[in-house]
Amino acid sequence: MVMPRFLTYLIRDVRSFSVPARIVLGGGLLFLCLMPHLGFSSFFRTVVIQFLLFSFLAMGWNAIGGYGGQIDIGLAQFLAIGAYTSTMLLVWWDVPPWFSAPVGMLLAVAWCVIIGYPLFALKGHYFAIATIAAVLVLKDLFSNWELIHASRGVHLPLKQAPSLLYLQFHTNIPLYYVVLAMFLGGLIFLNWFRGDRLGYQLRAVKENDEAAKSLGIDIRIAKLKAYAIAAAFAALGGSFHAIYTMYIDPEAVMSTELSMQIALMAMLGGAGTLWGPIIGAAILVPLDRFLGSALGGSKSLQGLDLMIYGAIIMILAAVEPRGIMGILQRITRAVRGDRP
């Protein structure tokens, strides 16, 4: 029997882990699978859901921003396309998310090709700024488009009874498993992606695009493929967000801050590494929520949480641009006694 490539990579990589790494990862996986039944508060569960969702989005960003080296600050536009597709199809024609989410992903990929093809002529800062501008244009259009309720936003219609088809339940436990499945699927997919042809092509482009071109890599196509992956991840995340929160508006799903947050998580953990986005989300989401609930509650302390957030990012950019993965690598090297 021929095994799918992503499975062979998965098995190979798991085998290569050291024993402590296997224990940590196995324990983490077991914890995530059993978490809803371990008696944690529902606040804790919402934090974990947010963590899984943002990890998933940051993984998508990592495809283009980390492996591809193209700093995109506009991932929220694809998230919005996913969220609005799922929402409007449900509102208009009662289409369940199982069908509308793939449609949203297709639309997001189509849109990413339309804007990505011209934008990839730009490099570095120019690309980053252009992606911000692209989202701002789209956000203004969405905010004034009556068909999708403009800036008032849309409430998702509530079903009479809990329904697996429409993913509406009395508790958020089933949705927790949905986002956990997305998270694990995304991780396995990216593990395949980084070890496969496209992953290597992108790293070549990132290191030296002229050299990559001379090796016969079509730079624009390689970047577009990575962008499509990022767009599809973001759109699926957006569909989940819509179903989870039951309400979306342009400000919530396509603000520049959201795009930045996603990118910052991947950067904090370590852009261009498999675990980076997850580590970044594991630090920033709880920081955001717990600081937010501890400090944001009192009016006099508002802003303090994001100040800390900003300070961490500045310090990390100056001290270790490879993010926490870079720090971890240093530590493992020091423990093993290798020379850097």
Residues that bind other proteins (CB under 8 A): 65, 69, 71, 118-119, 121-122, 124-126, 128-130, 132-134, 136-137, 140-141, 143-144, 256, 260, 263-264, 267, 271, 301-307, 309-319, 321
| CB nearer other proteins, residue 165 or residue 317 | 317
In the complex with other proteins, the residue whose CB is nearer, 40 or 126, is 126
- Least distance (Å) between residue 243 CB and other proteins: 29
First to last CA, the chain: 43
Query: Using DSSP, how many helices (H) and how many strands (E) does the chain show?
Result: 15, 2
Q: Which of 3, 35, 20 is nearest to 180 (CA)?
A: 35
Smaller CB distance to other proteins: residue 32 or 304?
304
Q: Which is nearer to other proteins, 42 or 151 (CB)?
A: 151
Instruction: Write down the least CB distance from residue 83 to other proteins, Å.
Output: 20
Any idea of the CA torsion for 282, 288, 294, 300, to the nearest 10 degrees?
A: 160
Residue 261 CB, nearest approach to other proteins (Å): 9
Q: Which run of H or E residues covers position 102?
A: helix 97-119
Neighbours of 277 (CB within 10 A): 35
CB of 59 to other proteins, least distance (A): 17
Closest CA to 265 of 252, 253, 250, 283: 283
What angle, rounded to 10 degrees, do the helices at 76-93 and 124-143 form? 20
CB of 294 or CB of 301, closer to other proteins: 301
- Provide the minimum distance between the beta carbon of 69 and other proteins in the complex, in angstroms, as a whole number: 8
CB-CB neighbours of 29 under 10 Å = 12
Which is nearer to other proteins, 185 or 310 (by Cβ)? Answer: 310
- Residues with Cβ within 8 Å of 100's Cβ and at least 6 positions away in sequence, in order, are 85, 86, 89, 90, 239
Q: How far is the CB of 117 from other proteins (least distance, A)?
A: 10
